[in-house]
Each structure stands twice: as structure tokens, then as C-alpha cells.
Amino acid sequence: MYILGISAYYHDSAACLVRDGRIVAAAQEERFTRRKHDQDFPARAVEFCLRQAGIGAEEVDFVAFYDKPLLKFERLLETYIDYAPRGLRSFLKAMPLWLREKLWIREQVAEQADYRGKVLFTEHHESHAASAFFPSPFESAAVLTMDGVGEWATSSYGYGRGNELHLLKELHFPHSLGLLYSAFTYYTGFRVNSGEYKVMGLAPYGEPRYIRQILDELIDLREDGSLRLNMKYFNFAQGLTMTSAAFDELFGGPPRRPESRLSQREMDLARSVQEVTEEAMLRMARHVRRETGERHLCLAGGVALNCVGNSRILRERIFDEVWIQPAAGDAGGSVGAALSVWYQYLGQERSVAEVCGEHADGMRGSYLGPAYTNEEILDFLETTGAKYRLIPRDELAETVARRLADEKVVGWFQGRMEFGPRALGSRSILGDPRSPRMQSQMNLKIKFRESFRPFAPSVLRERVADFFELNVVSPYMLLVAPVREDLRRAMTQEEENLFGVEKLNVARSTIPAVTHVDYSARVQTVRREDNAAYYDLIAAFGRLTGCPVLVNTSFNVRGEPIVCTPEQAYTCFMRTEMDCLVIGDFLLEKSEQDETATAADTAWQEEFQLD
Ligand SMILES: [Fe+2]
């Protein structure tokens, strides 16, 4: 039986195909259309999922849509009436798309996916919750979802047991932890729904000097983690901005203009909202633990991408174990919707052994996107005229590891593309974390940005505790951990006084390229069962250097979605100063490519201005 899950029309559209309860394919639409966070109907992602399974749309038994458009529409109308006539402009802006597409999901599915069978709808937070629990390695667990907003809900909790999922309580719009964070994302000059990561990365540079204003004025944070926003300070319910004039007044001026210089104020604001968010997450988690009595916790929803907050929940030992859906944002809603039909609508049995198979959980390392065979790759390389060498599989890891140890930057394209926002060793750019130059080199020469955020490390699962204060699996980079104390380097007073990026460029540990200014790192642990090629590469690098850790950043440049095809990987390789590219079993060296083709495309680079 095939169930096709779809999420669309808000942010990061995606499709997911489930065969007899197992996820066989999942991908975000942006990877195919090359429009970052594409929110249109995921026609190309659907096409990929069906192709992966080798079936036509007529063989799909159910389509599951990840939210209830009518409920969402009702929220829009009611909010408009509440604030009328103030929200007229935003209302008029939203209406055409609602009336043309968003309310007509069945028609869209028929038209764009050529499917005329049964379409079922799950609620937005049900989809998040299902995506958190059903693929988790737990027989029973508490479930907590937190995001900006779905239909009405902005957060929910409950529990899952076997094939059942029960949501007990919800928090409703406009009171939302996600929207609070997004308001600060907007105010500090970043893009809402994608810049939240930057706010989190900026936080360690600041002091939490605005916590009182946030807690006294902006929100009423309760003991159970629920909150109420003081809407005097926000404009998202009725306007086209996140914050209001009162917000500007409270924090001493207008929002930072995007791309303008960051000041201490933004860093302090970031630190403050991050701490308040962590406090709310902790309170919610404690409350959920008390209410459900469960020992395990599953998380999803955009706020669960806040890996610093997740790690606080883990470190405070509120639950024995925590599992986080890798596509915690709305893309993952497609997974939840499909699994919800399988388990809840159809009442199929769920056994953890079957969910996981050889993997640590049901997401199978999140390697659920398209793969390319060596024949397909060769075809492409031949037509392009690239200079390549075929490396025998058993020599590949060693060959690439040697280049990494020589401080070469390597584009690594292997197997099935990752589902969710992170590159996890299938579409990654890799480097040597021990190199003090690596972080600025990769930022400036390859990603065309100057970033205040360090890169993330990938480390062999069994060696994680040798480098980080962490000893659980973190396959999806959704946890942070301190670099071990014995690997750290103390800062001189002079170095402490540096500002912003300068501060990050000072080596703080023996793995400086992945160590943040507060000595934390966003860790990915790698098991051979999940990604053999990547595991073997890190292991080979470890044998060579004594350090089984690599810098892992997504294979893309700023402003572009992660590469999907060999052609996109090759283009990115040629247009940046990456030294090597490995696609399947083929190795390309920049120095051997045609000079005309290697001349960096400056017009293309100019599009990507610095952070
Ligand atoms: Fe959501």
C-alpha cells in the first residue's frame, strides 16, 4: 500500500512516499525547482517519490495533506475581523492565492499530481507530532511540537503508544514561541523562517541584557511553558511586518536593516530571546514529563530546529532519551501526514524493530532523496568535458582523506540526498577541522559569505565522547555539545576583546573550524549502518590524522538550495574555489580542469554578497 504525504503552501513544500508503513522517499521541492524554501505545490518532489518507487500516481492508495486549509482560512478571517480595518493590506495580499489554490487541495492534487483517489487531511500539529513519534525508536513516548503557527495551534503535546497518538493540549495563535523567535529574527535584520538559525548562532556573542523586557513586557511565560504575547508589540497578526512601533521603542530603535553591520545590540537581543526560548522549552518539557509520565520525548515543529534548546532539554535530564525529527519544520509534515494515515486512519500495527530495521530510527539517516548511479554520473562528466579519475571503491576513502589532511576543500556527493534542512554527508562540502584557516577559507572562497557561525563537525559515533561532552547519537545535527575541556585553548584578554567574526577567527580548540565562541559545536554523529561511504571517509581521515572528525557544511553557496544533481554539484564546484569534487566513484581535481572553465564566474559570485 502506498501513501503519499504532501506539505505545501506555507514554507518548504515537500513530498514523502510511504510503502506499507516504511518511508521510501522524501524530498523538498526547492531541491528540484532551485527556489530556496519553495512553497508551491511540490509537483517535482511528488514526481521524484513516485519514480523512486517505480509507480504511477494511479497506484497511490491515499494522498495525505499535512494541514487543514479550511481551518487555517478561518484563522485568517477571524484574525482579520479582530483587527479590522487595520489588516486590510495584508488581507488583500493573501486572498488571491487562497481563493485560487490553497483552498482547493483536492483539485491541486488532481491537476498537478494527476491523482484522483482519496485525499485525507491531518491537522498541522498532528502532522508534526506524527512525524516526531511514528519514526522514533520508541514504543511509547511523550510528544511535544512547537512552531510559528499551523491552523490555530502553535504548540501541542501528548503521547504516542504503539500505533496510537494522542494530543492532550494546544497553545493557540497568536501566542507562539516560534513567532516570538521570528519577531526577533525580523528585528535583528534576518529573514523570517530561515534566519532563525543565524539568531541562534549570534546569541553566544551577546549578553542577555533584554531578558527582563521580554519577560515583563512582551510575554507572560507561565510555569507550564505556555505563554501569552502582548500584541501591542507585534504586528504579524494584522500587518506585513513582525514587530510594531512599540517594539522599536522598547528596544531602542528600528529593526536592523538586512545586510547592514551587526552591532552589540543585535547580539544582546539574540542572546536574550535565545535564553527566554530555552526557558520556555524547558518548562514545556518538564510539564509534558509530569503530565504524561513518559520517559522518552519526541520533538518536531520549527522550534525543534533550535538545537541549543534541544540540548538543554537533554542535559537537564528531564527525559531519559530525546528523539528529534530531522525535518522538524514544515517539510517534515509530509512524513507525519502519511504515517498518520498508515497508523491512525488504517490502524496498522507498529513495532519499533520494524520501524528502524538496521537504522537507529525510521528516518534511515534521512537519506531519502534521489541518488545517481556511476553510469549516470559518467554520462554527465563525459558530456561536460570534465577531467576525472575513476577511483576503486576500496581506495576512495583513503584517497579523499589524504586530500582533506592536506587542507583541501572537498565537495562530497554520494548516494541519496538528505531530506530536511541539513547536509549529512551525502551533499556536503568537507574540510579539516584542525586547520585554523579552514573556517574563514570555506566561508569566503566557497560559500561567499563572512559568517559569525562556525561549521558543524561530523564525528564517528563511537568517538564522539573523545571530542565532545556528549555520548548519545546525534545523527541529524540537532544537538549541540561543548568541545571537551582538554581540547580547548584559553583566550588571552586581547582575544576576548575582539568583536564578531574576528572573535570566531581565533583558534579556541584543537578543532577550531567547528568550535563556536562559547566552545560549543553542532555535532553530527555518523554510524556505518546509516552512511557507509561517509563513515569510511571520516574513519580514514582519523587513521591519517588521529582526528576522526570533519567539517561538514551543506553543498551550496549562500542563497541557493543544497545541490541535488551531479550537474549542480559540478557547477558549484567550478564556480567556487573548492579543490576537489567527489561524485560517486569519480574524483575531479580543480587543478586539472580546463582553465576557461575554472575561471571563477565573478558575475555569479557578486550575487552573493557577504553576511
Ligand atoms: Fe509547522
Given the DSSP bridges, would you call strands 427-431 and 410-413 parallel, antiparallel or unpaired?
antiparallel
Distance 330 CA to ligand 1 centre (A): 5
Beta-carbon neighbour count of residue 123 at 10 Å? 23
Distance 419 CA to ligand 1 centre (A): 16
The separation between CA 266 and the C-alpha centre of its own chain, rounded to angstroms, equals 23
Max Cα-Cα span within the chain: 68
Distance 130 CA to ligand 1 centre (A): 12
pLDDT at 438 over 80: yes
The pLDDT assigned to 498 comes to 86
The pLDDT assigned to 220 comes to 98
Give the contacts of 167 (CB within 8 A, at least 6 positions apart).
Answer: 125, 126, 129, 143, 156, 157, 158
Distance 603 CA to ligand 1 centre (A): 37
Distance 336 CA to ligand 1 centre (A): 11
Distance 606 CA to ligand 1 centre (A): 34
pLDDT at 611 over 50: no
Give residue for cell 501513501. 3
608 or 101, greater pLDDT: 101
Distance 572 CA to ligand 1 centre (A): 31
Q: Evaluate the omega torsion of the peptide bond into residue 174 and state whether it is cis, within 30 degrees of 0.
A: yes
Distance 540 CA to ligand 1 centre (A): 40
Residue range 207-219, pLDDT digits in tens: 999 999 999 999 9
The pLDDT assigned to 595 comes to 66
The pLDDT assigned to 605 comes to 44
Given pLDDT bands bounded at 50, 70 and 90, which one contains residue 596? low
Residue range 67-83, pLDDT digits in tens: 998 888 888 888 888 88
Least confident of 9-13, 62-66, 385-389: 9-13
Given pLDDT bands bounded at 50, 70 and 90, which one contains residue 187? very high
Given pLDDT bands bounded at 50, 70 and 90, which one contains residue 607? very low
Rg (CA), the chain: 23
Given pLDDT bands bounded at 50, 70 and 90, which one contains residue 597? low
The pLDDT assigned to 103 comes to 86
Average confidence score pLDDT of the chain: 93
The pLDDT assigned to 602 comes to 45
Residue 435 · residue 514 · CB < 8 Å: no
Given pLDDT bands bounded at 50, 70 and 90, which one contains residue 239? confident
Distance 478 CA to ligand 1 centre (A): 17
Write the DSSP string, 161-180: ETTEEEEEEEEETT--HHHH
C-alpha cell at 512: 577550531
Q: Provide the phi-psi class of 477: left if phi over 0, else alpha when psi is between -120 and 50, else beta.
A: left
Distance 303 CA to ligand 1 centre (A): 9
The pLDDT assigned to 373 comes to 97
Distance 304 CA to ligand 1 centre (A): 10
The pLDDT assigned to 396 comes to 98
Write the DSSP string, 42-74: -HHHHHHHHHHHT--GGG--EEEESS-HHHHHH
Distance 46 CA to ligand 1 centre (A): 20
Distance 99 CA to ligand 1 centre (A): 22
Give the contacts of 13 (CB within 8 A, at least 6 positions apart).
Answer: 6, 7, 28, 29, 30, 38, 39, 40, 41, 42, 45, 331
Least confident of 60-64, 142-146, 260-264, 366-370: 260-264
Residue range 468-483, pLDDT digits in tens: 999 999 999 999 999 9
The pLDDT assigned to 168 comes to 98
pLDDT at 538 over 90: yes
Distance 342 CA to ligand 1 centre (A): 21
Q: Which of the listed ranges 80-94, 99-113, 337-351 does the model predict with the highest average pLDDT?
A: 337-351
Give residue for cell 492534487. 109
Distance 67 CA to ligand 1 centre (A): 9
Of the chain, the percentage scoring pLDDT greater than 90 comes to 83
Beta-carbon neighbour count of residue 162 at 10 Å? 12
Q: Which of 197, 46, 50 lies closest to 109 in space, CA to CA?
A: 46
Least confident of 44-48, 96-100, 129-133, 327-331: 96-100
Distance 125 CA to ligand 1 centre (A): 7
Q: Give, in order, the Cα–Cα distances in Å from 451 to each of 148, 271, 307, 531.
A: 26, 17, 18, 29
Q: Any idea how long the chain is?
A: 611
pLDDT at 507 over 80: yes
DSSP bridge pairs for 165: 160
